[in-house]
Amino acid sequence: MEDIKLLKHHYLRQKVFYLSHVQLTNVFKECKEVLSHSLTLWLPKYMAILDNKQETAGSVDPVEVCPLHYGTRIALVRMLIEMEMWEEATKVSLICLVQSYLCLQTGLRT
């Protein structure tokens, strides 16, 4: 009788572990999709501005393309790293570096 209880307990633990893993995987995928969609709204155009591709970017102020505060961009880089979106994290961190450099040159705050 004790063996049956142990087997049931072991089976339930395995099932809970599997279900929690599936839920975490689904949440992870959903988070990556949301972050990807968010980035597609502004990152390509912002990168075009940084690369001086006027035909893609048009005559737009970078702040109009992405009015996110510097701290928000840093938090975004952290989230992208946590979601293992390395390329996107690199691009956004490059934007933060450029913004910091420009602010140092002009004397403005980030």
**What are the structural domain ranges in the chain?**
2-106
C-alpha–C-alpha distance, residues 82 and 101, integer Å: 26
C-alpha–C-alpha distance, residues 16 and 2, integer Å: 21
The pTM of this model reads 0.66
In the block, tokens 């002009």 appear at: 106
Q: What is the pLDDT of residues 52-75, one digit of tens each?
A: 755 554 566 655 666 677 888 889
pLDDT at 57 (0 to 100): 46
Residue 11 has pLDDT above 70, yes or no: no
CA-derived radius of gyration, the chain: 22
In the block, tokens 């956004």 appear at: 92
Closest CA to 50 of 1, 4, 93: 93
Q: What is the mean pLDDT of residues 87-109?
A: 81
C-alpha–C-alpha distance, residues 15 and 9, integer Å: 10
Q: What is the mean pLDDT of residues 67-92?
A: 88
pLDDT interval class at 44 (50, 70, 90): confident
Angle between helix 86-106 and helix 2-40 axes, rounded to 10 deg: 40
C-alpha–C-alpha distance, residues 29 and 99, integer Å: 30
Q: Token pair of 59, please? A: 């005559």
